[in-house]
Amino acid sequence: MRWAEVFYASSGRLLERVLKVAGIEDEPLELLYFYLVEGVDPNVKRKRLLDPWVQTGNFQENNLH
């Protein structure tokens, strides 16, 4: 748990360095695109435990195909 807190606290600076090395500009739209691409759920079509009781809006499944 301690390393998770350290990583969380420094994640902003770490992201800035990674983006700089990758050649990605620090522009709001570039960062939004980066998050959308890198944050793709690999389990989009996987059945969820709460599916029978909870209706979820899965953005990826509905909009990124």
Mean pLDDT of 43-54: 78
The pTM of the whole model exceeds 0.75? no
What is the distance between the alpha carbons of residues 56 and 17, in angstroms, rounded to a whole number?
A: 35
The pair of structure tokens assigned to 4 is 């998770």
Instruction: For residue range 24-46, list pLDDT tens digits in order.
Output: 777 788 778 877 887 777 777 88
Residue 41 three-state SS: coil
Instruction: For residue range 9-25, list pLDDT tens digits in order.
Output: 898 888 888 888 988 77
Cα→Cα distances 2→5, 8, 18, Å: 5, 10, 22
Q: Using the predicted structure, report yes or no on whether residue 63 has a pLDDT greater than 80.
A: no
